[in-house]
Amino acid sequence: MNETESTTSPKTKASPWWERIPLTLQILIALVAAVSVGIALGAGNPNPSNATLINNLAIPAELVLKALRALATPLILVAVLHTLMTTNIPGTAGRRLAVLLLTNTTVAILVGLLVANVLRPGTWGNVATSTTTEVTTQNLDPWGIVKDAVPEAILKPLVDNNVIQLIVIALSFGIVLRGLKSEQVAQGKKGYQPIEDVIGILFEAVARVLNWVIALVPFAVFGIVAKTVAMQGFAPFKSLGAFIVSVLLALALQACYYLTRVKFGSWVHPLKFLAGGSDAFLTAFSTSSSAAAMPVTFEVLQTKIGLRESSAALGALVGANFNNDGTALYEAMSALYISQLIGQHLDLGQQLIVILTSIFASVGAANIPNAGLVTMTLVFTSVGLPTQYIALLVTIDWFLDRCRTAINVMGDMTVSALLDGKKPRSVDEA
Ligand code: ASP
Distance 60 CA to ligand 1 centre (A): 23
The kind and range of the H/E element at 361 are helix 348-364
Residue 370 in contact with ligand 1 by CB distance below 6 A: yes
Q: Which atom of ligand 1 is nearest to the CA of 288?
A: 1
Q: Give me the pLDDT at residue 144, please.
A: 64
Q: Give me the pLDDT at residue 139, please.
A: 47
Give the Cα-Cα-Cα angle 290, 296, 300 (nearest 5 degrees). Answer: 125
Break the chain into its structural domains and give their ranges.
92-140+218-420
State the amino acid at position 229 in one-letter form. V
**Residues in Cβ contact with 103 at an 8 Å cutoff, skipping those fewer than 6 apart:** none
Q: Burial level of 118, CB count in 10 A (0-12/13-18/19+)?
A: exposed
Q: Give me the pLDDT at residue 25, please.
A: 79
Q: Give me the pLDDT at residue 110, please.
A: 94
Residue 408 in contact with ligand 1 by CB distance below 6 A: yes
Q: Which atom of ligand 1 is nearest to the CA of 289?
A: 4
Give the Cα-Cα-Cα angle 109, 381, 334 (nearest 5 degrees). Answer: 40
Q: Which atom of ligand 1 is nearest to the CA of 362?
A: 8
Residues of the chain with pLDDT under 70: 1-15, 18-19, 88-91, 125-145, 426-430
**pLDDT tens for each residue of 129-167:** 444 444 444 444 556 667 777 888 888 888 877 777 887
**Residues in Cβ contact with 376 at an 8 Å cutoff, skipping those fewer than 6 apart:** 330, 331, 334, 335, 361, 390, 393
Q: Atom 6, ligand 1: which residue's CA is nearest?
A: 372
Q: Which architecture does CATH list for 92-140+218-420?
A: Orthogonal Bundle (1.10)
Q: Give me the pLDDT at residue 219, please.
A: 87
Q: Give me the pLDDT at residue 148, please.
A: 74
**Residues in Cβ contact with 377 at an 8 Å cutoff, skipping those fewer than 6 apart:** 65, 68, 69, 72, 161, 387, 390
